[in-house]
Amino acid sequence: MSWSPSTSLLPHAVALATTVLLSSCGGGGGDAAPASPATVTPPLRAVEQSDLQIAQLLYTGTPRTPVGFEEDAPGAGHVSTAHLKNTDIDASLVASQPQYELCTDDWNEALAWSEAHAQSASQYADLVVTEDTSKYFEFGRSRAGEPDLTLRERVFKCTYVNRTNANLRVAEGSAGQLNHRPLTANELQSLGEYLWQFTSYNNFGHAVLKSSTSNATTSLSHTLIIASLVRDGYSTNCDRVDVVAWRHSASTATGELLLDLETLWSFGARETAGTATLCNQ
């Protein structure tokens, strides 16, 4: 007598086969290992210093710039260095009008501006020394009775940088045109670090934490990461520290400069008996 499978057993066989197939493909759970959770990489911190180390730099006041930062030599005695601006030679300009550093490639014109500024000062300063560099003209002056004080007045050469379209009264926007060629990231960094010296960031309560450049196809960028101390800005008896990115970008085609300012983060700190602590500790 021949034997044939019962039709009542077929659904069970199909279900079992389906279960085995799903398990072998990882779709049925079974003994398959669970999927690993995705790894989330936290954003990189813009600087190596911790918040506490930054606070210590600001309260001690040193160092205010990183190793290798480009700064003027201090010179002998007391030296005050400034770039002549349009407001220095035109008293009719008002606060609502743009303020910018002058530039010329004519030594005589630069000297005339320096003399005009000296004549309009409350006390005249005699011209005692001049210097001609690839980036600017410099006129050193000294007041009678103050032989240890040298007033260095500089005028950019337009062949280096033209700042006519910049406005020193605002924190961001056009920063002029860098005309030095070849235009490289190193040259932009040199200019950015140089310009920092003539800003409010070059004072106690501020510190440059990092200076870096980047290249793109059509532009260059230089960024100073700067920490600034705001007294009692966090809460009563707690100061605020703002860490900002002060960034110049330059078109590789034209040298057009743009400046932008970005606050990266802020935190609270205080100083007690010469020791810096964070306010949340």
Structural domain boundaries enclosing 78? 51-278
CB 139 within 8 A of CB 118: no
CB 224 within 8 A of CB 192: yes
Per-residue pLDDT of the chain (281 residues; tens, 9 = 90+): 433 444 343 344 444 344 433 333 444 344 444 444 454 445 578 999 999 999 999 999 999 999 999 888 776 679 999 999 999 999 899 888 999 999 999 999 999 999 999 999 999 999 999 999 999 999 999 999 988 899 999 999 999 999 999 999 999 999 999 999 999 999 999 999 999 999 999 999 999 999 999 998 899 999 999 999 999 988 889 999 999 999 999 999 999 999 999 999 999 999 999 999 999 85
Is 33 domain-assigned? no
Angle at 99 between CA 71 and CA 249, to 5 degrees: 55
- How far is residue 274's CA from residue 149's CA, in Å, rounded to a whole number? 32
How far apart CA 138 and CA 83 sit, in angstroms, is 9
Q: 3's torsion region: left (phi>0), alpha (psi -120 to 50) or beta?
A: beta
Among all chains, which residue has been given the structure tokens 């990183």? 66
Place of tokens 């306010």: 279
| Residue 131 in domain | yes
Domain annotation covers residue 8: no
Say if 23 falls within a structural domain: no
What total of structural domains would you count in the chain? 1
Write the DSSP string, 169-195.
TSSSEEEEEE--SS--HHHHHHHHHHH
> Does residue 25 lie within any of the structural domains?
no
Whether 31 is in a domain gets the answer: no
Domain membership of residue 88 (yes or no) is yes
* Contact predicate 276/53, CB 8 Å: no
Within a domain: 39: no
Q: For residues 116 and 85, is the Cβ–Cβ distance under 8 A? A: no
